[in-house]
Amino acid sequence: QKFFDAVSERRVPVDMNHLVKLQRSPRRMDLYCWLSYRTPQIGRCKSVSIRLSDLQEIFAPDIADSYNFKNRLKNDLKGIATVYRDFDVAIESDMLVLRKSPSPVPVNITRLVC
């Protein structure tokens, strides 16, 4: 709920071309959107570590085995990197480590022109 409220209050700019390329995997689309929201907020020279078990509850409650989830997450992150390489993320032991990353959409865009 907290994430939903934050996203509703502060819209997340995503590159729709990226989402189209990820459309065969809803989990990759969700991870991409979450990374688009979360990584630009991290301070310079800082990192955020999140337990994989916490992410599993959110992104893959249907996967019971934590080892299987970790492998799928690695593959999902590789898939996301094929459409946007600038997310600075790594899996270290049982943690996903996030570092400040540029938004997939430049933050200085204030208005879309059709």
Which tens digit of pLDDT belongs to each residue from 64-74?
999 999 999 99
26 closest CA partner among 2, 61, 68: 61
**Mind listing the pLDDT tens digit for each residue in 46-100?**
999 999 999 999 999 999 999 999 999 999 999 999 999 999 999 999 999 999 9
CA 8/CA 76 separation, integer angstroms: 25
